[in-house]
Amino acid sequence: MLSAEEFATLRHARMRWNTPLSEEHAALLLQRLEVRSGVRVLDLGCGWGELLLRAVAGGAGAAGVGVDTDEAALVRGRALAASRSLGDRVRFVREEAAAWREPADRVLCVGAAHAFGGTVGALDALAGVVRPGGRLLFGDACWEAAPGGAAVRIFGDAVLPLAELVEQVRVAGWRVLHLSTADLREWDDFESTWRAGRQEWLLEHPEDSRAAEVRGELDVRLREYVGAYRGVLGMAYLVLGR
């Protein structure tokens, strides 16, 4: 039987990264981020740091640090770094993203605006950790279509329409070097892989004492996705400079 810690890792077991993003889209974003030789890369809310590792690997002599509060994700990140011979170039630190003060040349903050109190707070705070002439990859949820009541109940009223998100970026003093959004295939893959680790476990252990709770959670999530926010909730990826 899986321990509680091992069971918790099933949530992300089949995920490449914890955001709706294809391999091709990720490569484009990292190209726009321009991780050059010798730069320092910072990932705030890094999870297990897949994007960070790829960013550092793409720049000769680049080094990076990933910051998150999820120790299990950080352990996974360290193992990935070691397996790619990046252990001496990338370190993972357990700390609140909003508490980090060391600046970097390239900063990633994808799906972690909540750590700064929301979109506006994140855009303001991140200006303090991007070195002059640096770039920020900022990923944030947005409404790509008018949400119904169910979607608002799930995600709250802090999510901005895409146009308002872009306006907040401008007001915060950032310039948009690149803008793209996740498409439906990326969202479908994200939602499917978020469920997949536990779905597979459930099929193999239908009589486990935890099965009913897991089945219920997965069923609710799938109903909410297809019935409330598929094609409505978006994810915007912006490469920004100041």
Tens digit of pLDDT for each residue in 80-132?
A: 999 999 999 999 999 999 999 999 999 999 999 999 999 999 999 999 999 99
Q: Is the model more confident about 10 or about 154?
A: 154
pLDDT value at 8 more than 90:
no
For tokens 């509060």, the residue is: 69
Taking the model in full, what pTM does it have?
0.95
pLDDT value at 6 more than 80:
no
Confidence at residue 61, expressed as pLDDT on a 0 to 100 scale: 87
| Half-sphere CA count of 72, side-chain side, radius 13 A | 10
- 93: tokens are 């630190």
pLDDT, tens only, 38-56 = 999 999 999 999 999 999 9
Domains and CATH numbers, the chain: 21-184+234-241 (3.40.50.150)
Confidence at residue 4, expressed as pLDDT on a 0 to 100 scale: 66
Among candidates 147, 78, 70, 67, which has minimal Cα distance to 110? 67
Sheet strands (E) in 144-211: 160-161, 175-181
